[in-house]
A and B are shown apart, each in its own frame.
Chain A
């Protein structure tokens, strides 16, 4: 019996041990790591109150660091394993010596060494083409501390997923891994240093020791990047400072000088390598933010005094943003041109001092001085930056738009609605000179949404321009801003899908083709209608108008991009005015065209009244020139803005190819319309021309009413329940507002009414002539 019991006990024990072993082996690395971390924390918390719990929890943590978990780290880097084991030894010694601070220091060192080990396991797994191993170990990591305003990124996770799916290669996966984890651990290092200072000020000895250990541990993970950027001597020196910091933190000696030394050693160090896209993004931010500084500053000073503190504050904010972007790029810029980098650094620093002085009641530099300094810094930076950085970056544009919208919100909070409006216009101008050119083609539905949210939309979230004009409460403006942010995020995503040169060329081509089509329909149909030798001379003023419009477009193109950006805030209003003129002229010309040329001309065939009909030549010529001009330049300004944005992103050759191809298509289309129509008899020409120009007129009226509503010159009353697809607005000017539809209907009635009126008159005249003829014959 005893033997049976013994046997049963032995079997039970064996089963228990085996199943424990199976369980332990089955645990994923992240759970093992969490078991170690939480046990060590419990051990720390029980240190003073219950040493037996401390020992028990410590033992549990130490035994968890074994088997597969330890082996994977040994395989990756045996030295890291040694550090972890040394950490456990130090913790045991601290328990024996009853030193809570020593335990806290060793706990932090051990934990960060585990993080380091995990990072190396993942790196090796990627290098050895073992994405499954990498995926199981990646969760043994920390994340950037999320706040209400920032989120942990998932670049490494997605990179491993893509690596497993073979949609990226090993090198790309490693790049994402380094960028994500280095960025995370540098953020945690900075946090640890900040908390360490606070713990020191509050005289928390255990926290002080723990945080010094964490800071040193995080730095150890980043050490290879530091070595690469700063060299072996700097690394040795910085490691020595960290070592001293740990000793001082445990002993209770003053740590502030050491903290200062650490900060100095880390100044300008950026562990996470910036991807090429990130480099372009930062470069775009740097130049844009710098250019905004004098704009804001100039509005805030006059005669050596600060007149609008909030404008100066905005200038300071933009400078800080530029400084941050410069800090991120500084080491890279140094590799391209150290002398220019140093010069730019000094200029940016000097600008910071000047702004600081102005914002704190000190000496106020003149606006000219700030402008000059900015121009110099920008010029130096552009000379130092590689060409790839200077291509437009949509991501950078969106960052700057977000900053400007922040300024707008801030101004509303301060009840400064005028300033809020200015910031809104700046944000919109940035939108129009950058991403909008891409949205027009690749996500036109978003263009409409964004326009409504930026301007006077009357949907669920009223437009910002409307809200600001109404001095709406902050909550409403914030809600619209949130909606706008969502649309901007979506827009950024859509644009990101189409960045290839071919896509940019197509982008440019479609814009030019769409705008050119309208003009060509008007001009080709009118010109083809002027058939007789006497009428052909009226083609000339239209050509003159077209020539002037092309010259004006070329002149607009030659204006500097920054000047255009500053004018872009008036872009919509300019378009509204020019469109109105275009409609007025088109109506006048149509009136002349139908009522005098054709109707009368047709009758004139019978009665030779041609000389009478072409009176008032000068007014007609001016009208035709204006028609030619406005038809082409109606959206010329916006097209130039769009093309410049595309050139920045895709280069002049790419854009030119797209533009030339679409111009050729437009010309071809014009020729087809012209030749087909020319071959028709008078009456048919009349009807085709009438239908074509009438359609364009309806489109123009709809679009112009829309632009008027966008800028707030016409009210908006939405037709409830009417869902019009976005392309109906883009191509036919149909928007679901009562005003837009009413004006279009009125135009249609005008055109059709004119037709029937003229028809009535013609019949009356013919009848009259016929009657007179019959009387004469009889």
Chain B
């Protein structure tokens, strides 16, 4: 009996000792403080935009397929294609351009959030920001395009860029050489009128459509966090300089002297406004949280963000009204936009730090 008791005592002591060694389980504190941020609006906005982008992408794919089928039926003899089917070809290509022109601003209206959210940022590299393996290996896109005829375009750069330079003919490697095509039948072959290599167009469009679908899936799965929202503001607001730089070097400022093959269809100033619009949506989401810290500062940031967008809109309006800015004026305007953007990002960083919200690297 005594031995049995001792046995139980030994066992209990050992069990107590062993369990005492286990580290205390850190039970997360109950979330008693509900976040003041309203992030649902950001997701709703993004979901709406990706739906519209998918629709444009589908139209682009339909037009590209039509053009490819016409070219295939002609045995990829582009002279015969243009001679025999100029109206169908023109319609298909103008439809494709029109779909691209719809898709591009739609993406720009999402870019501020997509590019600034770590879990979605890869799609920005793929669709709109990544360089080519040749020009910028450090920031190159992670894909190759395999064309229907088996050729491979290794790391050709972002898909909006590839498609723009193919559809507007600014990359001679992507279009049929020594062929003129007056697509709009106005009697002159204007800038941007060219016959794309049907294989390149189809390969790029198909991949574009696939990535848009993937982005759609990623967005549906995304649950925005305060950190995501602050990160996208701090990361994307200060990218003004990059956009003004490409605007300065584009045809919209440099005219025919421009050697830049992309950003020929839409002025970068329009893109900047679209990006800022999406960032304003993000800011609306986090503003209630900032108000809890400092309502004056919350208003100040909102005004500054609006002021930056108005500033760009004013420059864009002048451009639309026919003003051609000099390179130095573009530089001055870019510096001013950058100064404003840096100040906004700086303020948001301070707020985030004060609220203890991590800005992702």
Contact = CB atoms under 8 A, between A and B. Distances in A.
A204 B327 contact: yes
B122 A680 contact: no
Interface string A730-753: 110000000000000000000000
B25 A725 contact: yes
18 contacts: A45-B332, A45-B333, A143-B343, A143-B346, A144-B342, A146-B234, A146-B342, A146-B349, A148-B235, A149-B361, A152-B346, A152-B350, A202-B331, A410-B138, A475-B143, A485-B361, A672-B17, A684-B7
Interface stretch (B163-171, B172-180, B352-360): B352-360
A17 interface: no
B220 interface: no
B302 interface: no
Given A152-B346, A207-B335, A478 B21 contact: no
Interface string A320-357: 00000000000000000000000000000000000000
B218 to A, nearest CB: 11
- Per CB-CB distance, the 9 closest pairs between chain A and chain B, nearest first, are A143-B346, A154-B353, A146-B238, A474-B142, A204-B328, A157-B350, A475-B142, A152-B349, A676-B10
Interface of A is mostly: helix
B142 A207 contact: no
Contacts of B346: 141-143, 146, 152
Interface of A: 28, 30-31, 34, 37, 41, 44-45, 139, 141-149, 151-154, 157-158, 161, 195, 199, 202, 204-207, 210, 410, 413-414, 441, 444-445, 473-475, 478-479, 482, 485-486, 489, 513-514, 517, 669, 672-673, 676-677, 679-681, 684, 687-688, 691-692, 725, 727, 730-731
A514 B22 CA distance: 9
A315 B23 CA distance: 42
B347 interface: yes
Contacts of B354: 154, 157-158, 161
Given A145-B238, A154-B349, A28 B361 contact: no
A551 B346 CA distance: 57
B118 interface: yes
Interface residues of B, number: 57
Nearest to B345: A146
Given A204-B327, A681-B3, A145 B25 contact: no
A778 B338 CA distance: 110
B25 A680 contact: no
Nearest to B307: A38
A676 B13 contact: yes
Contacts of A441: 23
Given A139-B350, A154-B349, A692-B14, 13 more contacts: A34-B304, A142-B339, A142-B342, A145-B238, A157-B353, A157-B354, A204-B331, A414-B137, A486-B118, A669-B17, A672-B17, A688-B11, A725-B25
Given A146-B234, A684-B7, A692-B14, A154 B140 contact: no
Contacts of B345: 143, 146, 152
A61 B296 CA distance: 22
Nearest to B11: A688
A292 B281 CA distance: 46
A475 B336 CA distance: 35
A146 B235 contact: yes
Contacts of B34: none
Contact of A207 (B3, B115, B238, B331): B331
Interface of B: 3, 6-7, 10-11, 13-14, 17-18, 21-23, 25-26, 115, 118-119, 122, 126, 137-138, 140, 142-143, 234-235, 237-239, 241, 296, 300, 304, 327-329, 331-333, 335-336, 338-339, 342-343, 345-347, 349-350, 352-354, 358-361
B10 A688 contact: yes
Most chain B CB neighbours (cut-off 10 Å) among A152, A414, A474, A514: A152
A189 to B, nearest CB: 15
B243 to A, nearest CB: 13
Nearest to B346: A143
B11 to A, nearest CB: 7
Contact of A151 (B7, B343, B349): B349
A199 to B, nearest CB: 7
A672 B13 contact: yes
A222 B18 CA distance: 60
A725 B23 CA distance: 11
B22 A727 contact: yes
Given A142-B343, A146-B235, A677 B21 contact: no
A475 B115 CA distance: 15
A475 B343 contact: no
Given A413-B140, A475-B142, A513-B21, A151 B122 contact: no
Contacts of B115: 148
A473 B140 CA distance: 13
B245 to A, nearest CB: 11
Nearest to B348: A152
Contacts of A31: 300
B22 A489 contact: no
A680 B342 contact: no
